[in-house]
């Protein structure tokens, strides 16, 4: 009896094992059949409504999986986030310092190029407030930072502000060219009215491309650049020729045009500056030859100053043109290469070029303003006034506390 009971138990146990195995096999076959049907359905030409449903389902599943699984931050992402934060903070501080210099100095406000510098500073400040934080969130979340409408507005702002900043740099170079090449007629050729007309054209030029981008729905989140920018959705590849034409025209009329103006204007300025230096050098050499009993140290100092004078203009122009090329050309080249269907731009490369283009907003105040003596004087006076005010407030506070302590001691003695 005992042996028969054990045999029946073993049979029942083996029966349940076989049943569970058959259930697992059937579930696996059902999954394979379901995946095959889904692939067949996606490969067949479906109607517009069904295709949108399948694309929606295909987009929801990875998003849900991404939200369900915690994502670890890699070292390149951490470095890119730190870079964006540093660039945004430096851009805000330096460009706000330029605005403070203009508010505190009537001499700076009287100069016509100040209008172009103000236009450039406002564009950089808005770029640091609107676009850089959204790119930081895009890198941190690896997804669209906010809703689609907000992302479209941010991409509109990026196109407008970047183009406006480039046009302001080109206007500054043309102003320097007129001032150096035509110094006697500068006041008649570059007036406040002319500067305001140039700024108005810069806004109109920038608004044309940003409005076209908005109307054609070419603004959104790009995973390659982790930011809200000019972007064509992968499901709209039929519009690729029009989008490619817009992108090429946009970069030709912003980056290429401004680079041509910068090179033309500053090279003309360099040529005139070198001719002036040659005339000054001839006068210096003739003076040194006439002064026979001049001390050797004075002669060496004059020759060293002559060499510095030659290199000063070349260095400044190399900084003007070199910073523009270094910051913008990698991003522009990446955007143009990204138009090719067979080329895939790595995500870290796209974000790095984006950060490099943002870095121009933090270098512009140093290149055009803060390293000049006029701006340095005004900025130092502002800092001195703030520190002196704080010193007076601290001394007044300490004096009042000392008097209060003395009064308390007197009252204590009387009582």
Query: pLDDT digit of tens for each residue in the chain (415 aa)?
Result: 444 544 555 555 555 555 555 656 555 555 655 555 545 554 554 444 444 443 443 443 344 334 434 456 788 889 999 999 999 999 999 999 999 999 999 989 999 999 999 999 999 999 999 999 999 999 988 888 888 889 999 999 999 999 999 999 999 999 999 999 898 889 888 999 999 999 999 999 999 999 999 999 898 899 999 999 998 887 777 888 999 999 999 999 999 999 999 999 999 998 888 776 766 655 565 565 555 556 666 666 766 776 676 777 788 899 999 999 999 999 999 999 999 888 889 999 999 999 999 999 999 999 999 888 889 999 999 888 888 876 666 555 555 555 455 455 544 444 4
Q: State whether residue 227 is helix, strand or coil.
A: strand
Instruction: State the Cα–Cα distance between residues 187 and 198, nearest whole angstrom.
Output: 16
Q: Is the pTM of this model over 0.85?
A: no
Element (H, E) at 221: strand 219-222
Q: State whether residue 230 is helix, strand or coil.
A: strand
CATH number of 74-371: 1.20.1070.10
Paired with 401 in beta bridges are none
For the chain, domain boundaries: 74-371, 380-404
Instruction: State the Cα–Cα distance between residues 199 and 116, nearest whole angstrom.
Output: 7
DSSP 144-168: -SS-HHHHHHHHHHHHHHHHHHHHH
């Amino acid at each position: 009896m005992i042996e028969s009971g054990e045999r029946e138990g073993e049979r029942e146990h083996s029966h349940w094992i076989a049943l569970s195995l058959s259930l697992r096999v059937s579930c696996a076959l059902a999954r394979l059949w379901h995946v095959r049907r889904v692939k067949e359905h996606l490969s067949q030409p479906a109607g517009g409504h069904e295709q949108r449903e399948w694309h929606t389902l295909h987009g929801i599943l990875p998003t849900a999986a991404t939200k369900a699984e915690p994502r670890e931050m890699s070292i390149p992402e951490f470095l890119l986030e730190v870079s964006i934060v540093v660039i945004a903070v430096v851009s805000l501080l330096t460009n706000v310092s330029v605005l403070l210099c203009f508010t505190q100095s009537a001499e700076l406000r009287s100069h016509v190029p100040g209008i172009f510098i103000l236009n450039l500073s406002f564009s950089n400040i808005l770029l640091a407030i609107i676009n850089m934080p959204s790119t930081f969130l895009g890198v941190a979340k690896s997804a669209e930072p906010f809703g689609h409408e907000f992302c479209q507005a941010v991409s509109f702002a990026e196109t407008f502000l970047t183009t406006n900043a480039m046009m302001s740099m080109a206007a500054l170079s043309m102003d320097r060219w007129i001032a150096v090449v035509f110094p006697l007629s500068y006041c008649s050729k570059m007036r406040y009215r002319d500067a305001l007309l140039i700024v108005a054209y810069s806004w109109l030029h920038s608004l044309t491309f940003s409005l076209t981008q908005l109307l054609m729905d070419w603004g959104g989140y790009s995973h390659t650049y982790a930011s809200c920018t000019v972007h064509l959705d992968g499901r709209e590849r039929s519009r690729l020729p029009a989008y490619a034409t817009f992108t090429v025209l946009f970069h030709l009329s912003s980056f290429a045009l401004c680079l041509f103006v910068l090179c033309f204007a500053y090279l003309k300025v360099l040529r005139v500056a070198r001719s002036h230096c040659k005339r000054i050098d001839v006068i210096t050499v003739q003076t040194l030859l006439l002064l026979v009993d001049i001390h050797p140290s004075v002669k060496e100092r004059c020759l060293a100053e002559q060499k510095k004078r030659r290199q000063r203009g070349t260095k400044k122009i190399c900084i003007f043109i070199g910073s523009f090329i270094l910051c913008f050309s990698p991003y522009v080249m990446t955007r143009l290469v990204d138009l090719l269907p067979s080329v895939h731009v790595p995500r870290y490369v796209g974000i790095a070029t984006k950060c490099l283009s943002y870095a121009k907003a933090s270098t512009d105040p140093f290149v055009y303003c803060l390293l000049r003596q006029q701006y340095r004087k005004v900025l130092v006076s502002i800092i001195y006034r703030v520190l002196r005010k704080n010193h007076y407030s601290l001394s007044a506070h300490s004096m009042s506390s000392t008097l209060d302590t003395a009064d308390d001691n007197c009252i204590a003695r009387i009582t």
